[in-house]
Structure 1
Amino acid sequence: MSKKILMLVGDYVEDYEVMVPFQMLQMVGLEVYAACPNKRALEFVKTAIHDFEGDQTYSEKRGHNFMLNCTFEDIKEDSYDALVLPGGRAPEYIRLNDRVIEIVKHFAQNKKPIAAICHGPQILIAADAVSGYELTAYPALKPDIIRAGGKWLDPNQTFSNAYVDRNLVTAPAWPAHPEWIRKFLDVLGVKITF
């Protein structure tokens, strides 16, 4: 039986951080369900492309439309094995939704695998789910993680690293996809053989 993964998104979720993991996790046979507060299956969220072009922070451009395949109001968190929290602009406002926080708390309290990237940990912070964990994120979240009781782990210069602490897998940005997804699959117990 395939594992079921819930992905919480919103408008202006980072394009690569939603589309690439969604497809990669499906590619290895997992069932992935993307949901957004106040939206239904077959509706879209707009994405944003964040790029690293030598400025003091990322640049932002309009991305694609990403189709949801799960209705937010239908989520029964007990039926999912793991949670994915992509970054972008969405985490800063979907964390204000009480039901989002309730869902995230379920995964955290039950020690189910959680993968968060870039600004995705903003949702974990809002759900009081980082205290005592070592994690990384987009560097602008460092003060928030520390104040929430987490231990900040510095991303490398290319943002291509990921960290695991028990059930939590974090990465600073989309350049870390290969390592982030590989480590998430390990935490999920998914083995790929050649």
Structure 2
Amino acid sequence: MRRGPALAVSFGIALLLSLLVATPASAHNQIVSTTPSSGQTLTELPAEFSIQTNESLLDIGGQGRGFALQIRDDSGRYYETGCVTIADATMSTPARLGAPGAYTMIFQLVSQDGHTVSGEIHFTWAPSGTVTPSKGTTTPAVCPGTTAAPATGSTAGSTGTGSEGTRNATVPLADVLWIGGALLAVAIAIVVTLLVVGRRRREDEVGGDA
């Protein structure tokens, strides 16, 4: 029985399906640590607010598209600069806060699989010394050099105690298609290789029988 080519095709199809279906569902970055942490009471202002994940973040083109960090108090005022720094597995923004009280850090990042992950971190600001509070703004800040202001609203793929939309809520479709196309090309190359190997094996078997 000539099972080589049939097994190669079956294996290739299974691999293709696993790349296009199983991988995206299981490759979301996981939050490892945050500054501040959930429920923390800050007595001193850190240099920056940050989110660290278990894998490198997907910052296509180095433009920070799909990433955002917003800091909001209970009255609805915002205190972030609008600028986000992405370094390997960490995203951060300079820390600014207003009067003592309850705050929420709203974040969105892009996982290695191209999907966004968003959520909220609730914390309390209770400075131990005299601190000049920032005035804040009534709407999310826009980083200099960008053209679109952050938008608020629900997003998918959230973690934590809930999610709120942030600037550039989704990765551009062209980028997502590029990622999917790359995976498809790899899968096709593997299938073709397996078919060629199976065909050569069959030819060798036929030659041996002759």
Instruction: Answer whether TM exceeds 0.5 for this pair.
Output: no
More helix by share: 1
Higher alpha-carbon Rg: 2
TM-score after normalising by structure 2: 0.23
TM-score after normalising by structure 1: 0.24
